[in-house]
Chains A and B, each alone.
Chain A
Amino acid sequence: MTTMNMAQALNSAMDTMLARDPNVVIFGEDVGYFGGVFRCTADLQQKHGVDRVFDTPVAEGGILAMAVGMGVYGLRPVAEIQFADYIYPAIDQLVSEAARLRYRSGGEFSAPLTVRAPSGGGIFGGQTHSQSPEALFTHVCGLKTVIPSNPYDAKGLLISAIEDDDPVVFFEPKRLYNGPFDGHHERPVQPWAKYPASEVPEGYYSVPLGKAAIVRRGSDVTVVAYGTMVHVAVAAAEMTGIDAEVIDLRTLVPLDIDTIVASVKKTGRCVIVHEATRTSGFGAELSALIQENCFYHLESKIERVTGWDTPYPLAFEWDYFPGPDRVAKALRRTMEP
């Protein structure tokens, strides 16, 4: 075991897979020589060579389109989109090509590519460097969508994503690279080293896609969250003293609906939390599924705490961010008799 922050754990995942599988190649803007804006690919080029870890021009459409072709022919491309906000020029390739290839070739071909992209706010990046676009991808059948919340999971999930035979979009909450940000922005972020999830095995292991984790056991209310919001939810539970059961989805598609349903049937209440905007956000899908599966067990309406339906603002970062106060309010509301 070694202590790693989330960027180091992701680095270790790629390092491990480069060593295990000669078909793995890693590329993106400034990922090779420089080692990535968030240092996730630091030293991988030196270690594995420029043929396998390389820089591309600024051309997201081309980057992901190339990954499709590479994947179809048997490589395991791991492409970085430097910020999730830059993925839109490549959406066509992800949606029309990567996601649909298996179906339209009757199962003969697939594009086993992994797209890594830092997402979410908290760094005053304004509208072009803060978005959480995961719902756009969960809406597309044929894609898998993964969002880790800690170093251990990040490494294990990324390894599973790379080994997976389908295209996987892997969003990395950038606020979590260095520590478990719980939304208390006025306090200094604690480094990962203080938390058990920073204990990461050096070599190969995997965390399966499609399996949620219960990060806090409780009996009053179920909180469904992923990424940064897992830590915010735990902080809110502690603030209120409400005995919340916090579920970290880890994978949005495929979704571990069984874990959610079992928990909501137990607690009878549910709060869904995400940083992305509200309308047609992933919370809407979760809410519908919970209602369909747990209708007779619900004791109050399902609450959603989300980013507002606005572009990510520069000057109002903390008004936008669904921090622990907003989650706490929802917890209290849902507990009202």
Chain B
Amino acid sequence: MASKKPQKADDSSGGSSGKKPDADQLVGFYKEMLLIRRFEERAGQLYGMGLIGGFCHLYIGQEAVVVGLQACAKPGDSVVTSYRDHGHMLACGMDPKGVMAELTGRAGGYSRGKGGSMHMFSREKGFYGGHGIVGAQVPIGTGLGFAHQYKGDGGLCMAYMGDGAFNQGQVYESLNMASLWDLPVLYVVENNKYGMGTSVERASATTELAERGKAYNVKNMSVDGMDVIAVRDAGLEAVEYIRAGKGPVLMEAKTYRYRGHSMSDPAKYRTKEELNKMRAEHDPIDHLRQTLIEMKALTEEDFKAIDKDIKDVVMAAAEFSQQSPEPDPKELWTDILVA
């Protein structure tokens, strides 16, 4: 019997649609990325002050990925990701106050203090969670895609994972099913080069990660995840393909995490030089700032005003996360079963 459908094209250059970016949208990207960065810096400080306990995985360096891709989402789409989830929640429009208050384990947090940094959700914003178990969110994303298709609501699921997660077996079960049933899912591998202390080269037999999609007849793309415009362009192409009912897309975004894996990370696995070079030459925020200056889209004054606005938002979130009360211990026994 002939194969069900023709082999799908792959586009390993990604994001070459060449559409001229519009200045307003870019300013929006700049603000969103800066908000994530400042939010994460503040979270790091609160952790240092002992106000956040346990685990806390910062997204600093990777901002362009989620900001560029969420710009391609429509209301009604769903998002699911790993424990490195603060940036995704902010990019989905969740309230920084509620996110920060979950980090401090307070009643005002998105999970009312029961989830912590890795486990937050918002039905309103279509955010189906941070997930602490590496890879577990990927088949959940496949199921969300199935539900979008079944209900015929035109939505799709953005399912994010790391390069480390990309070696979990359930990812491949997912790709197979999504391709078999042409599910509307954009699988995004945020390749930040390391899964904890193990580099991609030491963990993955093939390092052009998106190409694994070929084995499942899934359209694959690879994009510079430090360039928000490239990510947005690639995202638009992917989303158009998915919404046309052609099936899932697997996209690798090559990016970099500046901070440690979680809050205690001796960073023996990489050199200071590597990190400094990335920051100096590929920082997604500096890069966009430069573009905006060249486009004469924003003046020095404008940048200052943006800085200040974002500082205020983050300050307010940090403030709220300390003012919000500790949850009532009775909450320990609620939300286990429906009643």
- A interface list, Cβ under 8 A from B: 29-30, 33-34, 37, 55-59, 61-62, 85-86, 88-89, 123-129, 308-311, 313-316, 319-320
Contact = CB atoms under 8 A, between A and B. Distances in A.
A129 B332 contact: no
A316 B53 contact: no
Given A86-B134, A125-B54, A316-B331, A58 B165 contact: yes
Given A34-B268, A62-B169, A126 B118 contact: yes
B329 interface: yes
Contacts of A127: 115, 119, 132
Given A55-B203, A57-B204, A58-B165, A129 B54 contact: yes
Contacts of A313: 114, 332
Interface in B93-140: 105-106, 113-116, 118-119, 132-135
Contact of A58 (B114, B118, B195): B195
B54 A126 contact: yes
Given A33-B269, A89-B170, A315-B105, A58 B332 contact: no
B164 interface: yes
A67 B2 CA distance: 39
A34 B119 CA distance: 27
Contacts of A58: 134-135, 164-165, 167-168, 195, 203
A33 B197 contact: yes
Contacts of B332: 308, 310, 313, 316, 319-320
A89 B53 CA distance: 27
A193 B179 CA distance: 57
A308 B165 CA distance: 31
A300 to B, nearest CB: 27
B333 A128 contact: no
Q: Summarize B's interface: helix, strand, loop or mixed.
A: loop
Interface string B185-226: 000000000011110001110000000000000000000000
Interface in B123-171: 132-135, 164-165, 167-170
Contact of B327 (A309, A311, A316): A316
Given A127-B132, A129-B55, A310-B332, A59 B167 contact: yes
Contacts of B116: 124, 126, 314-315
Nearest to A317: B53
A97 to B, nearest CB: 15
A159 B3 CA distance: 54
Contacts of B167: 57-59
Interface centre among B116, B119, B169 (most CB of A within 10 A): B116
Interface residues of B, number: 38
B203 A57 contact: yes
B160 to A, nearest CB: 15
Given A313-B114, A314-B116, A319-B332, A29 B196 contact: yes
B339 interface: no
A337 to B, nearest CB: 32
Contacts of B168: 58-59, 61, 89
B326 interface: yes
30 contacts: A29-B195, A33-B198, A34-B269, A57-B204, A58-B165, A58-B167, A61-B168, A88-B133, A89-B135, A89-B168, A89-B169, A124-B54, A127-B119, A127-B132, A128-B83, A128-B132, A128-B133, A129-B54, A309-B336, A310-B332, A311-B336, A313-B114, A314-B54, A314-B114, A315-B106, A315-B327, A316-B113, A316-B327, A316-B331, A319-B329
Interface of B: 53-55, 83, 105-106, 113-116, 118-119, 132-135, 164-165, 167-170, 195-198, 202-204, 268-269, 326-327, 329, 331-333, 336
| Shortest beta-carbon contacts, A-B, top 4 | A128-B132, A124-B54, A315-B113, A124-B53
A interface majority secondary structure:
loop
Contacts of B53: 124, 314
Contacts of A314: 53-54, 105, 113-116, 119
Contacts of B83: 128
A88 to B, nearest CB: 8
Given A33-B268, A125-B55, 20 more contacts: A30-B198, A55-B203, A57-B164, A57-B198, A58-B167, A59-B167, A59-B169, A61-B168, A86-B134, A89-B168, A124-B53, A126-B54, A127-B115, A128-B83, A129-B54, A309-B336, A310-B333, A310-B336, A314-B115, A316-B113
B330 to A, nearest CB: 10
A129 B132 contact: yes
Contacts of B119: 126-128, 314
B190 to A, nearest CB: 14
Most buried by A among B113, B169, B197: B197
Nearest to B53: A124
Nearest to B136: A89
B1 to A, nearest CB: 31
A268 to B, nearest CB: 33
A313 B203 CA distance: 32
Contacts of B164: 57-58
A191 B256 CA distance: 38
Contacts of A320: 332
Contacts of A128: 83, 118-119, 132-133
A316 to B, nearest CB: 5
A86 B327 contact: no
A34 B197 contact: yes
Nearest to B167: A57
